Amino acid sequence: MTEFSLTPEHVNETIRQHWPTTMHECVEIGPAHALARYVIEQDMLRPGGFVAGPTQFSIADVALWYVSFSALGRVEPMTLTSELSIRFLRPAQGRVMWARADVDKAGRSSVVGTVKVWMDDRPDRLVSTAQGTYALPPMA
């Protein structure tokens, strides 16, 4: 068992090499959780000032992606979402969207996790909740 050595900086740098235009940012990563941040482009909002469902889906998906790196112990952009279910709980309004993913199980071929999404400084008022599975590439 090696010590956990992934950092948000390493995650962000590696991802930007593959996907330079990403707007998501990893702000925490641990052996069994990750925290993602997304600064809302105010001109992309739906009428009424709401963050669209697919935008919420995208941060949930990204947070699970980060957590798949936790499980692997390295940044592996080739992990892929197998399935994800999301429930929308409240209208999402604000400037910064956050998503925290926690690992439910990390196996050899997949990682299952639970994700909570909220706006600004209100983790007590979730805007959506999700669960999903990432498929890991075969080990070298």
Decide: is 4 part of the binding site for a copy of itself (CB under 8 A).
no
Q: Which two tokens stand for residue 3?
A: 């010590």
Give me the least distance between CB of 113 and a copy of itself, in Å please: 8
Q: Could you say which of 1, 5, 47, 139 contacts a copy of itself (CB under 8 A)? A: 47
Q: Please, are residues 64 and 81 in contact by the beta-carbon 8 Å criterion?
A: yes
DSSP secondary-structure letter at 44?
G
Handedness of CA 20, 107, 27, 52 (dihedral sign): positive
- Please name the residues in contact with 126: beta carbons below 8 A apart, sequence gap of 6 or more: 89, 90, 116, 117, 118
Question: Closest CB to a copy of itself among 6 and 114?
Answer: 114
Give me the residues paired with residue 98 across strands: 37, 118
Decide: is 16 part of the binding site for a copy of itself (CB under 8 A).
no
Residue span 96-135 as binding mask against a copy of itself, x where in contact by CB under 8 A, dash where not? --------xx-x----x-x-x---------x--xxx-x--
Q: Could you say which of 85, 121, 123, 137 contacts a copy of itself (CB under 8 A)? A: 85
**Rounded-to-integer distance, Cα 72 and Cα 69, Å:** 5
Residues at the site binding a copy of itself, with contacts judged by CB under 8 A:
18-19, 46-47, 52-55, 57-58, 61, 77, 80-90, 104-105, 107, 112, 114, 116, 126, 129-131, 133
